[in-house]
Amino acid sequence: MVSKVEMNRTKHSPVFAWFTSVALMACICAGTLLGHTVHAQSQHGQVQRARIDGENDATSLTNLDAQQADKLSPDLRDQISDSSAPRDFSAQALTTGVVRVIVQLNQTASGRLNGFLHSHAVEKGRFVNFNSIAIDIPQSDIQMLANFPEVRYISVNRDVQLNGHIETTTGAQAMRQEFANGGLDGSGIGIAILDSGIYTQHLAFTNTGNGGSRIVANVDFTGEGNTSSDPFGHGTHVAGLIGCNGNGTGVPSAYEGIAPNANLINLRVLNSQGVGNTSMLMSALDWIMNNRAAYNIRVVNMSLGGLAIDSYKNDPACRAVRSLVDAGIVVVAAAGNNGKNSAGQKVYGSIHSPGNEPSAITVGAVNTYATDIRSDDTIATYSSRGPTRSFWTDTQGLKHYDNLMKPDVVAPGNKLVSAESVGNLLVTTNPQLDATKTAVQQKDMMFLSGTSMATPIVAGAAALLLQANPSLTPNMVKALLMYTAQPLAGFNMLEQGAGELNIEGAVRLAKAVRTDLNNSTPLGTPMLTTGAAPVPQSTIATQTFNWGQGIITNYTYVTGSSLITLYQRVYGTGMLLGDGILLSNGILLSDGILLSNSVFVGDSILLSSGMLLGDGSPVLSCGILLGDGILLSDGILLSDGILLSDGILLSNGMLLGDTIAQSNGATVGGEPGDTIEIVEP
């Protein structure tokens, strides 16, 4: 049954209509190809396509193989097809002509393929849960490998590097005051932290109950064999934002983390220089899948990422993330720190991988200006903006961009104070990062800024929701965090997603959700134990604000109280929140099968008024994002005058209004390794 169509109608200016017409007439479209290096998300120096005719995402992932001509990632294809190309991939080449790659299989390898690998390649890792392997192979043998029918996709084993008062401003303190007898502190929840390691002797990670450590597992995937320290310093800071316990541990209580009694699983995927690669990340994700029950791993934090190239449908890290989410694990990923170029101008379309995966909770950064009140909060200038620009290539050689609306939410990420690892590289080379110095090194704290710092704030919040209601699925957690978020005035959805994290509201709502909901629950079943929806307002630091009351769903957004009062099928496992949207004659509709009637579907990306998610000035039609390679910025129409016309390519190859983006594969927004900055308010 198809539901009644309910949409937010908006009027567009003549300027908007003109630019939209130009965009739709531009048949040859190209997006900025961001660089090839994966790096963690601390700031330095300065969509999936909608469901069509009832087709869900799992189906589109399967059908992609029939449409896709090229089994090689774009950077790998460039290497083997261009003899003049450099002979390495940002330190990926072992020797001349030998490359590190991740091979994804679509079925069990035959004896013939195993024989080929044995004689032509060196296996470096096998990821059983994701049917993938990491190998070193001569460049000249890549195409022969791709010809095997069992091989689904081959991508470069890219580098992975780091991307950097929270109790009060996030609403955690308000939540604890409201639920004083609830003991919501992350107890019993396992949070896996994939990073540069954790300094295990820091007193921030002490269990106040028995004096032991809350770091319950330490595994090194870098090959350095280090499981007890953090020579780079990023991972310890991230872990402290999640789980720093200042209650009687000797660490100032002002620096308490969001989930101060959660169990931490230390998975080291970045080495002493803050660098790793995709196979290290895949190994850690594979380990999580195998050990999730033993450590009750409900949340994964990845304050790292890389400039997204492959579509999330092919990216091995994204596909691994999807497997974890389908298994019931909340995965939180940094958006990236490429929100501005070297001239300080806004850049759109720079979301990192695996933050470009639709099932992940992708987090951008807020600058709170060191105040608890939210009235002065802004999106940090460096925080990466959507839409996602990863792509796949069809049999005609045309690129199809994912164009997902990201990030999903934003959280404080600027100049945050957290645990410091003894003698770490970041502080050694940047002494100004020191926040406190005591006679006891195990108490020291440091500053960092970046979406890396915002990400663990959201991961800690997810742990609190799961402690409050262990039956929540990852999609429910994501939906509740977005529904209760506060839209920040003056920023659009490609900058802030659903808005700024509101832990008080999200926990209050999570506690009201029934615990007997599952994939068999009929659409429209009452969702709350309270019957009526709670008051959609929160008060943080004496300021009362409305919840956004909406959810970002890949290409658009949906609003309405039915999102929390009636069970939505998209909240189940094995689905995406965007599966409830279909495309009909260019109009976005709720299909009435996975999303109930009375859910409103937005048709424009908005410049927020600071009220509800669906309020504000339209800056871009959601339908524009559906077109491959077509992207217009809000600056062209209403806002700040910044142009990003990377998707409007005229037939002579000239870009229209190209004042920020660079075409032909040029990198935008910083150099690899540009990772840490103290951003002054």
Q: Catalytic residue positions? A: 195, 234, 452
Identify the H or E element spanning 352: strand 352-353
Q: Which one, of 421, 414, 411, lies nearest residue 266 by Cα?
A: 421
β-sheet bridge partners, residue 125? 134
The CB-side HSE value for 458 (13 A sphere, CA atoms) comes to 41
The edge-to-edge listing of strands for the beta sheet with 416-419 is 416-419, 445-448, 434-436
At 526, phi and psi to the nearest 5?
-50, 135
In the three-class reduction of DSSP (H, G, I as helix; E, B as strand; rest coil), residue 239 is classed as helix
Q: Which one, of 396, 402, 403, 494, lies nearest residue 28 by Cα?
A: 396
Q: Please give the single-letter amino acid code of residue 263.
A: N
For the chain, the helix, strand and coil percentages under 3-state DSSP, each to the nearest 5: 25, 25, 50
Q: How far is CA 35 from CA 98, 308, 324, 427, 625, in A?
A: 20, 8, 27, 27, 22
Tell me the pairing of strands 391-393 and 434-436.
Answer: unpaired
CB 608 within 8 A of CB 491: yes
The sign of the dihedral angle between the CA atoms of 161, 167, 170, 175 is positive
CB 276 within 8 A of CB 159: yes
d(CA 459, CA 380): 19
CB 244 within 8 A of CB 418: yes
Identify the H or E element spanning 168: helix 166-169
**The two three-digit tokens of residue 332, written as one number:** 């939180």
* Residue 15 burial (CB count, 10 A): 11
Q: Which one, of 166, 180, 169, lies nearest residue 542 by Cα?
A: 169
Q: Which one, of 610, 609, 581, lies nearest residue 593 by Cα?
A: 581
d(CA 418, CA 437): 13
d(CA 355, CA 160): 13
Q: How far is CA 458 from CA 86, 541, 568, in A?
A: 40, 19, 23
The sign of the dihedral angle between the CA atoms of 503, 505, 508, 511 is negative
Tell me the pairing of strands 190-195 and 550-553.
Answer: unpaired
Q: Is 223 left (phi over 0), alpha (psi -120 to 50) or beta?
A: left
d(CA 205, CA 634): 44
Q: Which one, of 492, 424, 480, 465, lies nearest residue 637 by Cα?
A: 492
CB 207 within 8 A of CB 248: no
d(CA 227, CA 239): 14
Q: Which one, of 237, 200, 240, lies nearest residue 216 by Cα?
A: 200
